[in-house]
Amino acid sequence: MSTKRRPLVMGNWKLNGTKAFTTELLTALKAELADSPACDVAVATPEVYLALASDLVAGSQIKTGAQNVDVHTSGAYTGETSIEMLKDCGAKYIIIGHSERRQYHQESDAYIAEKFAVIKKAGLVPVLCVGETEAENEAGQTNAVVAKQIDAVINHCGIEAFNGAVIAYEPVWAIGTGKTATPEQAQAVHAFIRAHLAQADKAVAEQTIIQYGGSVKDSNAAELFAQPDIDGALVGGAALQAAGFAAIIKAAAKAKA
Ligand SMILES: O=C(CO)COP(=O)(O)O
């Protein structure tokens, strides 16, 4: 018996946008979603546009999020943004552990686990990105890599911390490359992740939203969402265009109806 999970499709804008772009895209997205598809929707804009984005989507089904957070709550940490600041600007979801931050900012599993704890403490939703590199994939290490990334959080925060949290499986070799994992490949890893969580707590595993990320677009979304353990998507490039992003959201709502 599998639990029914409401899908979550979230856009990760990465380092893209302007005030005008944010206004145009979110205005268009609200219009595209006028029929309220049965799917949770969020956009993680650059931090500087978060407050603007939150104002624009107020009262709609679209929530906002951030792409990172600092572990400190205040103080002499030049250039950082705290969880309370993100919350103050309307964020609900916080992406952590994205492969681009692991790679370019040397973020370790332990550091990411600290961020997870900070987000939970503030009552917001962590979106924990996990995934293997191409070399790890070819060496057959995919499951071991994602298990290690998840275990760092379980060990630091406890399995209960995954209640209401989100995991995004993003194979590094599929991000921005146009190469997508096949639905079957992705499903196998998602099922592994859920089974891994279930070893610690079955109920937590059943309710955890596990998104797929990596070159998701309108044309491949439906077949990914047809898989039982793929509960939505974390979308990069294709989230920068309202009609295409809305089509992905509608495909999730339809597949999980
Ligand atoms: O990294 C991603 C989302 O976090 C995926 O990016 P793309 O959809 O552009 O491949």
Quick one: average pLDDT of 184-198?
98
Token duo for residue 103: 């790679």
140 is in an annotated binding site: no
User: Catalytic residue among 100, 107, 170, 190, which?
Assistant: 170
User: Looking at the domain assignment, is residue 218 inside a domain?
Assistant: yes
> What CATH number should be reported for the domain holding residue 173?
3.20.20.70
Cβ atoms within 10 Å of 65's Cβ, excluding its own: 26
Q: How confident is the model at residue 177 (pLDDT cuts 50, 70, 90)?
A: confident
Please confirm, yes or no, whether 160 is among the known catalytic residues. no
**Full-prediction pTM beyond 0.90?**
yes
Question: What percent of the chain shows pLDDT beyond 90?
Answer: 96
Is the residue at 173 inside a domain?
yes
193 within a domain of the structure (yes/no): no
Q: Is residue 188 part of a domain?
A: no
- Tens of pLDDT along 132-141? 999 999 999 9
Please check whether residue 191 lies inside any domain of the structure. Answer: no
Largest CA distance in the chain: 50
Tell me whether residue 190 is in a domain.
no
User: Can you tell me the distance from the alpha carbon of 81 to that of 149, in angstroms, rounded to the nearest whole number?
Assistant: 24
Q: How many folded domains does the chain comprise? A: 1
Whose CA is closest to atom 8 on ligand 1?
Answer: 236
Looking at residue 180, its pLDDT comes to 81
Q: Is the pLDDT of residue 98 over 70?
A: yes
- pLDDT class of 178 with cuts at 50, 70, 90: confident
Q: Is residue 219 part of a domain?
A: yes
Its domain, for residue 17, covers 8-32+39-90+103-177+199-256
